[in-house]
Every structure is written in C-alpha cells, then in structure tokens.
Amino acid sequence: MTVSTLPRPTVLADFRSDTVTTPTPEMRRAMAEAAVGDDVYGEDPTISELQQELARLSGFEAGLFMPSGTMTNQVAIALHTRRGEEVICAEGSHIYEWELGMMATFSGVVPRFVPAPLGVPDPEDLRLAVRRSIHQSPTGMISLENTHNKAGGTVLPLEVLAAAREVATQEGVPLHLDGARVFNAAVALNVPLKEITRHFDTVSVCLSKGLGAPVGSVLLGSAAAMKQAHRYRKMMGGGMRQAGVLAAAALVALREGPARLAEDHRRTQVLARALVEAGFDVNLAAVQTNIIYVRLPEAQTQVDAWASKGVLASALGHDSVRFVLHHQVNDAALEAAISVLTA
Ligand SMILES: *Cc1c(COP(=O)(O)O)cnc(C)c1O
C-alpha cells in the first residue's frame, strides 16, 4: 500500500481500511475509568474480563490479548508448528501475504497455498496438500481466513468449515482461523459467533477492525495453549503491562460493535452498486461484507485524484483499489463520497 503525500482537503469519507476508526466517547470514558494491573503477571482485571468475554462468546476456554492481529496469528503459528514445516492456507491469506514473512523469521515455517476462488478453499484440496513424505516438509497446521480480506471480505460457508474440521481431525493437523473479521462473517451468515469458531483449535479476532477499538486482537484456544501463547507473546514484545486501558475500549467495541456491522454491510452494497452503475469493474459476487475491490488501471493515480477531493481509498497493486466500510462512514458521508466517485 502506498501512502499518498498529496495535500488533502477535508476528508469526506475514509475507506482505506476499517482500522481507521477513532475511539468513540464511550470508549474514551471506559479507558479513563479502567481498572488496570500488570498483565504480564496476569493481573490486569480489564484485560482478563475482555479475554473471558470473548472466550465465552466463541466457546473457548481462554483468550490472550495482544497488540495486533499479526501477533495473534504469528503466535498461533508458533504454537502449532515446528521449524521446517508447512502452513497450508488459502491463496492470498493475510498470514503470509501481509505479515512480512514472519512465519519464516519467527517460526521457521513456509506457506503452502491452496486455490481459493472467492477466498473459499475446497476442503479436498486442503486434504491433498497435507504432506508426510520423508522427502517433503511436513504439514504443521492449516489456517483459514474468514472473512477473506484479499478475496474481497468474502465469507466461508459453514459446510466448508465443517469439512475443513473433518480433514484436520482425520489428518491430525491443527486448524487455525484468522478471524480478524469473523464478526463480519457471523453477521453476514446471521449465526452466533460460536457456529463459526467451534470448528477451530485456535482463532484470532481483531477488535480494531470493524468493531472499532483503537488497538488489539485476541487469540482464543485451550487454557493450555494460551499458557504457552503467553510465552510467545512475550518473546515478540507483546507483554503490555497496564494495557487494561486498551482492553476497556476493546470491551466497548466488543459489546457495541457487532450490532453495527449489518449497517456497514448495507452501505457496502449501496456503494458497490453505485460504482457498478458508474461503469466501474466490481465483482459483486465478492461483495459480501464490508469490502469492495475495484479493478482499474493506474490505481494509484485514480486514488490520488479521489483523495484530492476528500475520498480516501487504498491502491493495492497496480490495478486494484480497495474500499472498506466502517461505522465512521455514515449515510451522509457515503452519499457525499458516491457523488465524488461517480462524478
Ligand atoms: C487486519 C488483518 C489482520 C491483522 O492485522 P494487524 O494490522 O496486525 O492487526 C490479520 N488478518 C486479516 C485477514 C486482517 O485483515
């Protein structure tokens, strides 16, 4: 992603990511009033509350709060794998594409992509990708992503999750979910979070994406796994001491954020249709939650032109622009942005 250096006018709408939201007044109040302690000693009551609440919602024994989704994913990889192994994942997965080779540098493992049209791998391809030969890198884990960011915020059907679970169990391979936007998936499928998370050994959830917290992700798993994860988190520099101030905002995001996601998804449809009507190349089948990819030449030039008129989006690669909706783009902002984008 290239960060534009052009001078910017008043921002009408910032669609670069759902990470750009700023803390709400309720979050700031909760942060000011948060009870805190040293979380490396496990003594921060607000962090413990956040971990327990998310563990309860997702059906896991325990959770561990970390500064980023990259860290929760990479700690999961460290937990599940040994050096020289492979991580099977859907092509375009964030854990490899956008995590700076960390699986290689920290855990000493390499990715093996399986095809994933619209972000959804065929469970049989996951099975065929499992390797055991003495001449090959053994499989350490399988990782799925829901929603799948690079495929367009697409949702994995529950049958695919169940089939992937079966493969993982039969093959004796741990199954991880990069659920940075798993709440978006749950809202899109209209199911409780547990219906998705129950298939996995570990799940990573971002509070700082659509839910709107300023900072933080939680890794979920068994109590034993989270005890081990605590050590890897510390190794990566993620032992954060009195970070209950962050967890307090994340708790507000967790309690109030999910209910707002359906609105983000509705506005995403409005924007996608407006873009298609204006002649832009959008695969509407991939627009399932809060993300839209537009294929166009000279992506950065177009993004800079829109930015000069107050509408921010991300150029990803030469020919792709990404729009991400979040709760701080309301209907009025959306309407203003559509006028600019379709002018
Ligand atoms: C954003 C994101 C993450 C984590 O990103 P951080 O910026 O490290 O918090 C992980 N997976 C997916 C799919 C994401 O979109």
Q: What is the pLDDT of residues 253-264, one digit of tens each?
A: 999 999 999 999
| Nearest CA owner, ligand 1 atom 5 | 69
125 near 115, Cβ under 8 Å?
yes
pTM of the model: 0.96
Q: Which of 150, 178, 184 to mutate to test the pocket of ligand 1 (most atoms within 8 A of CB)?
A: 178
Q: Where in the chain is the domain with CATH 3.40.640.10?
A: 25-256
Q: Is the CB of 150 under 6 A from ligand 1?
A: no
Q: What is the mean pLDDT of residues 256-283?
A: 98
CA–CA dist 77, 176 (Å, integer) = 8
Please identify, by atom number, the ligand 1 atom nearest to the C-alpha of residue 99. 8
| Nearest CA owner, ligand 1 atom 4 | 69
What confidence category does residue 178 fall into, taking pLDDT thresholds of 50, 70 and 90?
very high
Q: Report how far ligand 1's centroid is from the alpha carbon of 26 (Å).
A: 24
CA–CA dist 49, 55 (Å, integer) = 10
For residue 34, which of 19, 45, 20 has the smallest C-alpha distance?
45
Question: If one looks up domain 13-18+260-341 in CATH, what number appears?
Answer: 3.90.1150.10
Tell me the pLDDT tens digit for each residue of 132-171.
Answer: 999 999 999 999 999 999 999 999 999 999 999 999 999 9
Please identify, by atom number, the ligand 1 atom nearest to the C-alpha of residue 70. 8
Q: Report how far ligand 1's centroid is from the alpha carbon of 183 (Å).
A: 14
Judged by phi (left if over 0) then psi (alpha if -120 to 50, else beta), residue 42 lies in left
Q: Write down the pLDDT at residue 1.
A: 54
Q: What is the mean pLDDT of residues 21-45?
A: 97
Q: Which two tokens stand for residue 12?
A: 């009408």
Q: Is the CB of 99 under 6 A from ligand 1?
A: no
Tell me the pLDDT tens digit for each residue of 107-123.
Answer: 999 999 999 999 999 99
Q: Write down the pLDDT at residue 277.
A: 98
Q: Which two tokens stand for residue 155?
A: 């949702």
130 near 171, Cβ under 8 Å?
yes
Q: Where in the chain is the domain with CATH 3.90.1150.10?
A: 13-18+260-341
Q: Report how far ligand 1's centroid is from the alpha carbon of 278 (Å).
A: 31
Q: Write down the pLDDT at residue 5.
A: 63
Q: What is the mean pLDDT of residues 33-51?
A: 97
| Nearest CA owner, ligand 1 atom 10 | 69
319 near 300, Cβ under 8 Å?
no
What confidence category does residue 8 fall into, taking pLDDT thresholds of 50, 70 and 90?
low
Q: Is the CB of 94 under 6 A from ligand 1?
A: yes
Tell me the pLDDT tens digit for each residue of 283-300.
Answer: 999 999 999 999 999 999
Q: Is the CB of 145 under 6 A from ligand 1?
A: yes
The strand order across the sheet containing 110-114 reads 62-66, 217-221, 202-206, 175-179, 139-145, 86-90, 110-114
Q: Does domain 25-256 have CATH number 3.40.640.10?
A: yes
304 near 4, Cβ under 8 Å?
yes
Q: Is the CB of 217 under 6 A from ligand 1?
A: yes
Tell me the pLDDT tens digit for each residue of 213-246.
Answer: 999 999 999 999 999 999 999 999 999 999 999 9
Q: Write down the pLDDT at residue 3.
A: 61
Q: Report how far ligand 1's centroid is from the alpha carbon of 325 (Å).
A: 15
First-to-final CA distance of the chain:
25
For the chain, give the mean pLDDT: 96
Tell me the pLDDT tens digit for each residue of 64-102.
Answer: 999 999 999 999 999 999 999 999 999 999 999 999 999
Q: What is the CA radius of gyration of the chain?
A: 20
